[in-house]
Structure formats: structure tokens, C-alpha cells
């Protein structure tokens, strides 16, 4: 599979990415390195509880309250946010399993990349092997390769929609490259 060349050294080129590759994982669960930004390293795979919110006078469903098991919280659960009754709520485990299922179905060699978790938002990256990468070095000597990754993200507090996107991954520095122009993404709400 041939990739079109992208000049990564062009200072005028539009880039839209955050350098999660430079942040070291501080937790590993089931072989998945996780950048965990919670104060007490709360597992992104802890159980959540989805409780109906009913209007006070009519008793009609107004949405759901989302809580996560947290042993350090006074009542054993921490409130993460409220979602509408139409919000597509997937657990972080379901999102991870879906990412792995898509990668497996691609038929390409892949491996778990890393995950990001801040207590409300979650992203998981699946990296494809060098077999589907291309050299972008100016010398053409294979010293600077760009490959493909998939990123899936969601949130328990509606700050992120459930989304899947294809992205580039630069092997030299392990940076991810998201681009609305070069790579498509699919969002659900």
C-alpha cells in the first residue's frame, strides 16, 4: 500500500495535533500503556453507573447521571457528569475492545499503542506496523518513516463525542499526526 508523501519539515503546513507521544505512560493495564492524569491513578476500566435523572414535577426522563467507582471518594463513587437520554455512552473498555476489533478486521499487522485517561475523557491508539509505512526522509534512506494509527476517543462527561480517526504516526519521534484534510474521522453523538 503506497502512501502519498507529506513534507513534515514544511513550516507553512497546517498541523493539528497534540504531542501525546512525548508524554510517558505512568500505568499499564493488560499490556496497554496508559497516560493516566487522575490524581489517584483511577483505572479507566473501573465500573460506571448510569442513573436516570427524572424531572421533579412530571417524573419524565431528563437524562442520566454518570458515576464511576472510586474507593477514595466519600461514598465510593465519583460523579463525572450528566448526559442526555440520546447520548451514545460507551465504557472505556467497550471503546478499547472496538478499537482492537477494527484493527484485527483490517488484516494489517497491529499492536496496542497507548491510552489517555483524565477521569472523564479517554482515548486509545492502535498502531499499525512498519509494513504500512513510508519513508519521508529527504535522503530517502529510510531514516524517517510515517505509518498509520487509529485513535478512538470518548468521554463520560460529553466533552468528547465517541469518535474514531485514522492518523499518521512518525516513527522517528513517535508523534501522532491528526489532520482533517488528510485523514477522515467518524463521530457519533
Among 126, 115, 140, 122, residue whose Cα is nearest residue 169: 126
Residues of the chain with pLDDT under 70: 1-24, 170-189
pTM above 0.85, yes or no: no
β-strand pairing of 61-69 with 32-36: unpaired
Is the separation of the CB atoms in 131 and 3 below 8 Å? Answer: no
Is the separation of the CB atoms in 28 and 114 below 8 Å? Answer: no
What is the structure's pLDDT at 176?
Answer: 53
Report the alpha-carbon distance of residue 188 to residue 166 in Å, rounded: 15
Q: Identify any residues that bridge with 27 across adjacent strands, giving them in sequence order.
A: 34
Q: Identify any residues that bridge with 112 across adjacent strands, giving them in sequence order.
A: 126
Number of helical (H) and strand (E) elements in the chain, helices listed first: 1, 12
Helix/strand/coil (H/E/C) assignment for every residue in 158-179: CCCCEEEEEEEEECCCCEEECC
Amino acid at each position: 500500500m503506497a502512501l502519498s508523501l507529506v513534507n513534515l519539515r514544511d513550516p507553512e503546513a497546517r498541523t493539528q495535533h497534540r504531542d501525546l507521544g512525548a508524554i510517558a505512560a505512568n500505568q499499564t493495564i493488560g499490556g496497554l500503556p496508559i497516560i493516566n492524569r487522575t490524581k489517584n491513578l483511577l483505572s479507566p476500566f473501573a465500573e460506571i453507573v448510569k442513573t436516570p435523572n427524572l424531572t421533579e414535577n412530571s417524573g419524565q426522563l431528563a437524562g442520566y447521571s454518570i458515576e464511576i467507582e472510586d474507593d477514595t471518594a466519600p461514598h465510593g463513587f465519583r460523579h463525572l457528569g450528566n448526559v442526555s437520554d440520546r447520548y451514545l455512552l460507551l465504557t472505556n473498555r467497550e471503546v478499547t475492545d472496538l478499537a482492537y476489533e477494527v484493527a484485527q478486521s483490517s488484516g494489517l499487522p497491529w499492536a496496542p499503542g497507548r491510552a489517555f485517561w483524565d477521569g472523564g475523557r479517554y482515548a486509545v491508539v492502535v498502531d499499525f506496523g512498519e509494513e504500512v509505512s513510508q519513508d519521508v526522509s529527504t535522503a530517502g534512506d529510510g531514516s524517517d518513516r510515517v505509518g498509520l494509527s487509529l485513535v478512538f476517543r470518548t468521554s463520560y462527561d460529553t466533552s468528547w463525542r465517541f469518535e474514531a480517526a485514522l492518523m499518521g504516526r512518525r516513527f522517528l519521534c513517535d508523534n501522532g499526526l491528526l489532520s482533517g484534510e488528510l485523514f477522515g474521522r467518524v463521530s457519533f453523538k
